Structure formats: structure tokens, C-alpha cells
Amino acid sequence: MTLRSSRLSLAITLLLASCGANSGQGDPSTPAPRYSNDAGIQDSLRTCAPVTVTMLTRNEAGVAASLVAPLEAEFAQVYPKIACFLRDGPAPYPDVVTTVRTFTPQDPGVANACCGRVDISAAYLTQSNGDPGLLTHELTHLVQNYPAGVTEWWWTEGIADAIRYLYTPANAGWAISAPDRATSYRDGYRVTAGFLLWLERTRRPGLIRALDGVLRRGGNPGPFWVTTFGVSVDDLWAAYLAQ
């Protein structure tokens, strides 16, 4: 086994200038920097406190270094944005250990994340030639850190893919799902992400952060949808399909 580790440390300064797309301050002739990949999505309007985070990369399977370096670059680019977009106050953003290792038949999948650790399948990383965005999805789970009471997993996965869509520098070969009557918002991942991004874009800027807060504090959304929009989540989904 080849074990190669590298430590990426960065002092991340999340200032309004880099975190907010519309601060309402500064020289009006200077456009605010675009923060996300979607000009139709309002970025965070908050000031995010400076934080320092690190990612330790363990290449246990000895995959090509050309596949590992982009993971570290992706971490440096997206992790502060995820933290700024989702968290609504000072929070212990976890330092990250990312391990590229051999997954077993008893341990299937392409990647998983928990408790400050991201594991990525070496076989999948090689076969997909890196899959930019995979790490963003997994890092979102570390920031989410929802309690065990969250059983409506589709919101968790939908938010992770929405964040992937918004902040991965290059989502090569990957896209959000378009509205499709054969699908459900309960499908999770890019299907649910498409729905959440539509709500964020057309109905309520800040929806994704608000939903994230509900999930982190209390479990499933429950009455959140009616309280926020005045209609049920099924009615919102029907409107999404009918657009």
C-alpha cells in the first residue's frame, strides 16, 4: 500500500466582498463579484466570520497524483463557500480528512462523508477521471451535520447537489435534472436539487439556507413548507412541473 499524505492549510477569510453578491455598499460602478455558478441565484448577503480549516488528504490506494491534486484545489475553493452559504452563525466547521481508498463489496458506493471525514473510492475516482463536484457534494454533508432525527433524506441529498451545482468550479458531465413528471421531490440528489434551486430562484431567495437550518435544528421540515409558502410541498412541486 502506498501512503501519501499532504496537508492543505488555508486561512479562509470570508468577507462580505467575496461572500455577498449584493452588499448594497461600495462603488456602484464596480459589479459585485459573482459567487455562485448561477447568476439567477442571490448569494449570501451575510458577512461570514474568518475561519481557518484544513484538509488532510490520504491517498491510501496510491491513485495518480493528478487525481488527488484537484481534490485539494476543489476543497480550497468550495469549502468556505459552503460554510458561508449554509451556516447561520459561528460554527465549528470541521477540519477534513479525505481518504482515497479501495472500497469493498461490503462497502459499496463511490464516496461517503461523516464526522469530518470523506472517503472516496479509488476505483471510481480513476474511472471517472476525478469527477469534479463529487467532493463538493460530500463536503456539504460535513457542513450539514444533521441530527439523526432527519429521516427525509431527499432534502439532505438535494441540498448537497444544489450546492454542487452552485459552487463546483467545473461540473463536467454533470447537470441538475429538469422538471419531469416521472420523478418526485422525494427522489433526492439532482432531482430534488432542481426543485430547491427553482424555489430559491423564483419563490424565495434564501430558501435552501432556511431549509438547511430547519433540518439541522429539528429534524424533518414538517410544517415548514406551509409556514414559508402558504401551500404544501406537493402544491409547490406541482407548480414546478407546470412551469
Q: Which of residues 140-179 bind Zn ion (CB under 5 A)?
A: 157, 160
Nearer to Zn ion, 72 or 157 (CB): 157
Q: How far is the CB of 208 from Zn ion (least distance, A)?
A: 15
CA distance 175 to 115: 28
Nearest CA among 164, 147, 6 for reference residue 81: 164
Q: How far is the CB of 121 from Zn ion (least distance, A)?
A: 14
Q: How many positions of this chain bind Zn ion (CB under 5 A)?
A: 2
Nearest CA among 166, 204, 198 for reference residue 180: 198
**E strand or H helix at 109, and its extent?**
none
CA distance 96 to 185: 30
Return the C-alpha cell found at 238. Answer: 406541482
Binding flags for Zn ion, 109-128, as an x/- string (CB under 5 A): --------------------
Q: How far is the CB of 153 from Zn ion (least distance, A)?
A: 9
End-to-end Cα separation, the chain, in angstroms: 53
Nearer to Zn ion, 149 or 230 (CB): 149
Return the C-alpha cell found at 108. Answer: 459499496
Q: Which of residues 8-37 bind Zn ion (CB under 5 A)?
A: none
Taking a C-beta distance cutoff of 8 angstroms, is the pair 75, 118 a contact? Answer: no
Nearer to Zn ion, 160 or 162 (CB): 160
Nearer to Zn ion, 160 or 166 (CB): 160
| Cross-strand bridge partners of residue 111 | 120
Q: How far is the CB of 20 from Zn ion (least distance, A)?
A: 27
Q: How far is the CB of 63 from Zn ion (least distance, A)?
A: 21
Instruction: Please give the radius of gyration of the chain, using alpha carbons only, rounded to the nearest integer.
Output: 18
Nearer to Zn ion, 61 or 111 (CB): 111
Residues of this chain that bind Zn ion (CB under 5 A): 157, 160
